[in-house]
Amino acid sequence: MPTIHAGRFTTRIEGSFVVFLIGFRINRLFAIHKWLPTAAAMPPMLKELYANPALGFLGGFSSLYWPGIMVTQYWRSFDHLIAYAQSKDAAHLPAWKAFNQRIGTDGTVGIWHETYQVAEGRYESIYANMPRFGLAQAGTHEPATGHLRDAQARMKP
């Protein structure tokens, strides 16, 4: 069970960073042999990323939605994200190749991603009576007191 931090907290990340949303969608429920390998491809990549902080991965979390899964990831930079995606030594390229060979354009499984570059100080967050969650897993975790008490103040660069 994660530690619940009583009170109000916020987070900060020094410098700009990237939010990367990636997911898949089951388009044909009974094509388990197609979507299960797609779902199983992400955990080894996340394990690799958490084990190698120099790759620029800051943290993330997974979310279930019907009919799919989404992973929210935080990266130090867009260059780090692209370097990982294109690395011949990382788990991503073999997973991407396998997806294209197994599914291609047959429509059984959809995949998607969205990438957002966030400038330093152009975000804000609040967590009340929560474990470290979301951006707080990637940045600092500090009490939302004083000048960090309200959203407008936290948003100022």
**Is 68:26 a contact under the CB 8 Å cutoff?**
yes
Question: What pLDDT score does 156 carry?
Answer: 75
Nearest alpha-carbon partner for 77 in 137, 117, 50, 121: 117
- Give tens-digit pLDDT for 78-129: 999 999 999 999 999 999 999 999 999 999 999 999 999 999 999 999 999 9
- Give tens-digit pLDDT for 47-60: 999 999 999 999 99
pTM of the entire structure?
0.93
Q: Where are the alpha helices (H) located in the chain, listed in sequence order? A: 32-51, 78-86, 92-102, 151-155
Could you give the domains of the chain?
A: 5-12+124-148 (no CATH), 17-71+78-118 (3.30.70.100)
* 32's tokens: 């388990």
> Which amino acid is located at 7 in the chain?
G
